[in-house]
Structure 1
Amino acid sequence: MNTLTTLERRGMAAISTPGGKMLVVAADQRNGMKAVMNDAPDGPGSISAEQLYDAKADLVRYLGNAAPAILLDPEIAIPRVADEGVLSRDTALVVGLDASGFDTVDGLRYTNFVPGMSPRKVRDLGGDVAKMLWYMRPDLQDAGSRVADEIRDLVTACTEEGLLLIVEILVYRLEDESEEDYSAAFPRLVADAARLSAECGAKVLKLQYPGSADASAAVTEAAAGVPWAVLSAGVDHETFIQQVETAVANGAGGAMAGRSLWKDSLAVSSETRKQLLTTRALPRLQQLEAVLDGTLVAS
């Protein structure tokens, strides 16, 4: 287990429910968020940065403020949601450091930082916690790889800044890999990615659901005491609830949910957004928190 500093423990408390489970509304998507706003007259591609900000602000206002924490991007949402008083004082701000998209080098994916972002900049923007996404193929990358070096460097920099870092890992299918081979390897890849990330100093992990109770237990063992949260990966809410219940029963420490909560509740129309976020997305968040804290059994 990679020990948290006092300041990092405060960050962990800020993103956790009263029952001690991590719960973060993920809203740092940019193009992915535009894609679900299907009432744009000329299609999602016509949505402006200002319209996207308005949608993110309403997502904070009507959904994120009911959660312990919300994950936002520094390109559209931050610092405006804080400066304009949209973000509640009781909701922790997780700042995403990763830029949209990825580069491909020798068949492997690499993410980039949003220009100008650093642990110090997260603090300057009012952030309580940082998050960085890395793609990983632990069957092809080891402790001496570029991705491992990047994780170690950022964990060290955030620790020196007194900032908790959420390490998000996505495993993925290679271009020359069949769907069948990837599906068979997937649970092992998630567990091995957790192991490698923990070896590189990660203190909190955000991971894909590995597929089953046994696979979740294997991830918990591989993480070696490092808490991990399940990401929703765009599945429907009912599926995600079942995944979270299974993962938590087998050692996961929480959930970080985005599209499963709000993908069918966003629109260009502010009236539509308010209605859907409050009547559809918010009850989902409340159910998710109840499942995490054991006050509601999903199955």
Structure 2
Amino acid sequence: MAKNELNTREKRAMAAISTAAGNMLIVAADQRNGMKAVMTDGPDGAVTPAELAEAKADLVRYLGNEASAILLDPEVALPAIPDNGVISRDTALVVGMDASGFDEVDGLRFTRFSDGVTPQTVLDLGGDVAKMLWYMRADRQDADSRVAHEIRDLVTACEQAGLLLIVEILTYRLDGESEEEYAEKLPGLVAEAARISVECGAKVLKLQYPGSAAACAAVTDAAQGVPWAVLSAGVDHTTFIEQVRTAVANGASGAMAGRSLWKDSLSVSHEVRAGLLTSRALPRLRELEAAVDRI
């Protein structure tokens, strides 16, 4: 029996964010500063809040509505996108609860929650599923650490609200740690973070690609039957497709892709953006769906 099994309502939510074949396929469009950074064709290089909001709406119109689900933020995208009828009735809405940036304490990173966003807020915004990001260094944090208690608390709050929570974990380099040292530790850090998160009650995980087929299998073992999706982490599309194929072949349950799909398809101009999302990003999504479903 899988650990932390989904209840009936959570199973319905899981189906909503999955393909017909039952694998997660979510377009991530909850970025704020990262999205602004690729919209550099404006007259002065600055992107206004209104321009960013319209870019997110176009991402839904021309890309997200072709996926099982779209991940959006409550700071810029919501509630305007569902209120204005932009999101398709067949596309599930995942609401990100994390704010941009992080706080640092004793060399460790801690996520910021978006102000005032609770499980009830997610439901009020029309969300089918919630997502929260935590940073974790599993070689310095365990199941009794601050981050673990935060995961437990939000898992419990979402369960009480009748809301499925996707637990996203990012590991990172410590100050003074070389790239080579970090790369060597990465597979174990991702697997141990999965184990700790499951111990804290996580029912769905969003994780970094841990580096190899064997590392993906180790993550699957650590997740103890809890489904996990691999995130794109800003890599290019070709690289991510191969990562997804390897991850799914070794136990992953899908993918959540953001910049790998759309980072070279955004523009301040609506007309240019619509054309690029349709001709460039959408074919990538189709290819990602085939990789997720192992077609």
1:147-166 residue pairs with structure 2 within 5 A? 147-166=147-166
Equivalent-residue separation in structure 1 for 2:69 and 2:148 (angstroms): 27
Cα root mean square deviation, aligned: 0.6
Match of 1:194 in 2: 194
Q: Which amino acid aligns with 1:119?
A: P
Whether 1:29 and 2:31 are equivalent positions in the alignment is yes
Match of 1:234 in 2: 234
Q: Which amino acid aligns with 1:260?
A: S
Other structure's SS at 2:266 match: coil
**Structure 1 unpaired stretches of 5+:** none
Equivalent-residue separation in structure 2 for 1:19 and 1:6 (angstroms): 19
**Structure 2 unpaired stretches of 5+:** none
Shift of 1:177: 1.1
Match of 2:271 in 1: 271
1:71-150 residue pairs with structure 2 within 5 A? 71-150=71-150
Instruction: Return the match for 1:38 from 37, 40, 57.
Output: 40
Whether 1:66 and 2:101 are equivalent positions in the alignment is no
Once the two structures are superposed, what CA deviation does each residue of 1:181-221 show, in whole Å capped at 9, x if it has no partner?
11100111000000000000000000000000000000000
Equivalent-residue separation in structure 2 for 1:224 and 1:257 (angstroms): 24
Equivalent-residue separation in structure 1 for 2:4 and 2:282 (angstroms): 34
Contact 2:245 2:294 in 1 (8 A): no
Q: Which amino acid aligns with 1:215?
A: A
TM-score normalised by L of structure 2: 0.99
Other structure's SS at 1:133 match: strand
Equivalent-residue separation in structure 1 for 2:43 and 2:207 (angstroms): 36
TM-score normalised by L of structure 1: 0.97
Equivalent-residue separation in structure 1 for 2:265 and 2:52 (angstroms): 14
Shift of 1:40: 1.5
Equivalent-residue separation in structure 2 for 1:278 and 1:269 (angstroms): 14
Other structure's SS at 1:23 match: strand
Equivalent-residue separation in structure 2 for 1:254 and 1:180 (angstroms): 28
Equivalent-residue separation in structure 2 for 1:175 and 1:159 (angstroms): 36
4+ long deviations beyond 3 Å:
none
Other structure's SS at 1:220 match: helix
The number of residues matched between the two structures is: 293
Contact 2:23 2:292 in 1 (8 A): yes
Shift of 1:294: 2.1
